Amino acid sequence: MDKPEDVHTLLLEKINLGEKLIQQMETIKTLDGALKLQRKIKQELLFLQRLQDSKKIKIEQLSCSNLRHLGALVECALRPGVVSVCKTFHVHENKLLVDVIGDEGKTWTKVIARNPKSLSALSSGNASYGARSILDQAEDYLECAKLFPCMYQSPKVVFEFASGIEKNLANRLQSLGIVVKGEVLPDSKPSDDLDDTWNSSDEGEEDCHNGSPPCLQEINQCIEDNPDRSDIDTLNLDVTAMMAYVSNMTNGHCNYVFKQDVLTQQSAWEAERPVKPVLDKLFEGKTLVCCKTAWNDFEKIVNILGGPNEKKRAADLKERMNIFDDDFAGEDDYARQTLKVRGHVRLRSKIIFNFGNRIKALTVSANEGFVRAAMQQGVTYAAFIHESRALTEGKEASATEITL
């Protein structure tokens, strides 16, 4: 493809692909990391548009485009169950980019668009000094997955090959514990010519160890939206969870218009999406625990604000609970010890969630703000997040009952 018209046609095809990818990203623009991925695509598109304005375009310039890899990444990101893309994790002083996180955080996918022969050659040592093979990157992923478990289990690591992968290399990856997706091709003969037209940027500039200083981590949070999916037997109840469980509002008394707008709003939500049945289903067959800080604060709130029925339900709940000292099960890991108390990260929440992490429990809470704020500091928790519900029995006397 040395003819100018052929090169120009290829350029236009790549520009059209870039514009199409931008449009596809609009459908997932609220996905965690989507803006980061969209910026990468726009950078590639801008580079190609500048080439279009130049008088002479070389095929080598088009070969440097990273759009093929980004296109494959967008294809994966559009699949059901994806919760994040382009997540940067830090392992010691190095960083690793996970292309797509799906299955509520339980699966990490790396997208590879390189030439299969080039991948095999690099993995066989046929590369310049210091170049990292796909096998090296597989070990990086597996190590990182162990350090950042979701629901106390290491995420499954999937390598998806958009251009295929040769059989021998696929077998070697599978032996390491990598799930291989993509067309498995016959192994190249030693005499086969190697097509080295791929660019190293095809894998993303952040996916291998590069010695960069750590920056703000973006860690996938493990929020379970479906109670049936949790195989953890112990539930750590936050103050907000216990309040929602004993509230009059969630126990058949949501037909009120309160003087407090926030309570009226919660009542409307409760009528549409009852919380108690969700919690009852989650609690079924599980061991319920909390730390002393959680129980003491909950008890104070109930004694001050709770009505007679809410106090009775709190007493019944205590009979089901196992209450432990805050420091039960030893010290927190380094990341949780150094979690800074600021903004939505309050000391009480830090104590409660860290307690749940130490005993490998699923923390049940309405405090989504803490989970997200902790994530911004690089700390992720196994948590089931439900809607918030306040104690309302004491407010019913001054409220207007809705007659159905």
Q: For residue 394, with 0-12 CB atoms within 10 Å meaning exposed, 13-18 middle and 19 or more buried, which class applies? A: middle
Of the candidates 39, 373, 374, 338, which has an alpha carbon nearest to the alpha carbon of residue 206?
A: 39
* 186 and 271 inside one domain: no
Asked if 237 and 290 touch (Cβ cutoff 8 Å), the reply is yes
Please check whether residue 213 lies inside any domain of the structure. no
Residue 199 has what pLDDT? 37
Predicted TM-score of the model (pTM): 0.64
Residues in the chain: 404
Residue 114 has what pLDDT? 87
Token pair belonging to 288: 């319920």
Per DSSP, which regions of 41-196 are E strands? 84-91, 94-102, 107-112, 156-161, 165-166, 179-181, 184-185
Distance between CA atoms of residues 154 and 303, nearest Å: 42
* 117 and 168 inside one domain: yes
* 243 and 190 inside one domain: no
* 165 and 230 inside one domain: no
Helix (H, G, I), strand (E, B) or coil at 188: coil
Please check whether residue 217 lies inside any domain of the structure. no
* 30 and 112 inside one domain: yes
* 178 and 240 inside one domain: no
Mark which of 171, 203, 235 sits at the end of a domain: 203
Residue 390 sits in a domain of what CATH number?
3.40.50.1010
Distance between CA atoms of residues 207 and 97, nearest Å: 4
Mark which of 168, 203, 238 sits at the end of a domain: 203
* 257 and 152 inside one domain: no
Distance between CA atoms of residues 390 and 248, nearest Å: 9
Split into its structural domains, the chain has a count of: 2
State which amino acid sits at residue 214: P
Tell me which residue range forms the domain holding 76: 4-203
Asked if 354 and 331 touch (Cβ cutoff 8 Å), the reply is no
Asked if 399 and 256 touch (Cβ cutoff 8 Å), the reply is yes
Please check whether residue 208 lies inside any domain of the structure. no
* 396 and 317 inside one domain: yes
Asked if 148 and 139 touch (Cβ cutoff 8 Å), the reply is no
Distance between CA atoms of residues 227 and 369, nearest Å: 20
Please check whether residue 17 lies inside any domain of the structure. yes
Measured CA angle at 370 (ends 329, 108), to 5 deg: 80
Measured CA angle at 193 (ends 191, 199), to 5 deg: 140
* 16 and 139 inside one domain: yes
Of the candidates 106, 116, 44, 104, which has an alpha carbon nearest to the alpha carbon of residue 73?
A: 44
Per-residue pLDDT of the chain (404 residues; tens, 9 = 90+): 456 667 778 888 888 999 999 999 999 999 999 999 999 999 888 888 888 777 677 776 676 678 888 999 999 999 999 999 999 887 777 888 999 999 988 999 999 998 898 888 888 765 544 457 899 899 999 989 988 888 888 899 999 999 999 999 999 999 999 999 999 999 876 544 444 333 333 444 333 333 322 222 222 234 333 444 456 899 999 999 999 999 999 999 999 999 999 999 999 999 999 999 999 999 999 999 999 999 999 999 999 999 999 999 999 999 999 999 999 988 888 888 889 999 889 999 999 999 999 999 999 999 988 998 888 887 889 999 999 999 999 999 999 998 76
* 302 and 185 inside one domain: no
Of the candidates 222, 366, 227, 230, which has an alpha carbon nearest to the alpha carbon of residue 294?
A: 366
